Structure 1
């Protein structure tokens, strides 16, 4: 399996998620009503999407959503730490202002995972970075310099 992001690129991967408010939003897109225990290891995109998309009626809902949000928060804080200005690492994505809630991020990631089954076997963190890069592209850097008219 090919990794989407080289280690240095992932270091620049998920900062906006770190700024997400803790408020959860109702209406998560359920993928399943039960998660196998192995999904809680969040090794793949499919595992993470299963946890993030857990039905609110499922017995594991609270644990699954807490795990999902913790994964998002941890990945986001890591990205923020390694892509801060002066680090030399460009961010892989740039969240809008105001940033989405964790629940909005989780729902969008689940929808992306459902729409892109070819990525469901990738490492969860790589898929999350792939999704975030597509969902929240950074603006192109503006060139500094002056034009010289002659």
Structure 2
């Protein structure tokens, strides 16, 4: 009978851990009105309380912008940028934040325009000779 309570306690503790919910986010925490708002979310460090949420939001915002761009721009249109395939998300976030820091005049503008300006400036397409 000595093991029964210990096993039950272990099961209950494991169940409690499995059902624990993360602290709720402040509803206004991830509102992106400007490029500056997006940059501050993407800038969050690994030691911040909502790091995973911020990284997910930053990556998701960029992915969503790219997917929308691909959906609305004709396939035969000249590309705005020619990014390298397989870029590491952490490296891209760092480059994006550094670019934004070097271009403070853009911070008050729309986030999606700033994101595409970063991509065009950082990953220009080679010009084709005719």
Structure 1 length as normaliser, TM-score? 0.63
Q: Structure 2: how far apart are the matches of 1:104 and 1:118? A: 23
Cα 1:42–1:73 shift into 2, 3 Å: same
Q: CA deviation at 1:38?
A: 4.1
Query: Gaps (5+ residues) in structure 2?
Result: 1-25
Q: Are residues 1:48 and 2:35 paired?
A: no
Q: Which residue of 2 aligns with 1:131?
A: 118
Q: Structure 2: how far apart are the matches of 1:39 and 1:91? A: 33
Q: Which residue of 1 aligns with 2:50?
A: 60
Q: Which residue of 2 aligns with 1:72?
A: 62
* Alpha-carbon RMSD: 1.9
Query: In the alignment, which of 81, 93, 98 is matched to residue 81 of structure 2?
Result: 93
SS of the aligned residue for 1:40 comes to: coil
Structure 2 length as normaliser, TM-score? 0.71
Is the helix fraction higher in 1 or 2?
2
Q: Which residue of 1 aligns with 2:21?
A: none
Q: Structure 2: how far apart are the matches of 1:106 and 1:37? A: 23
Aligned residues: 105
Alpha-carbon contact 1:39-1:50 (below 8 Å) kept: no
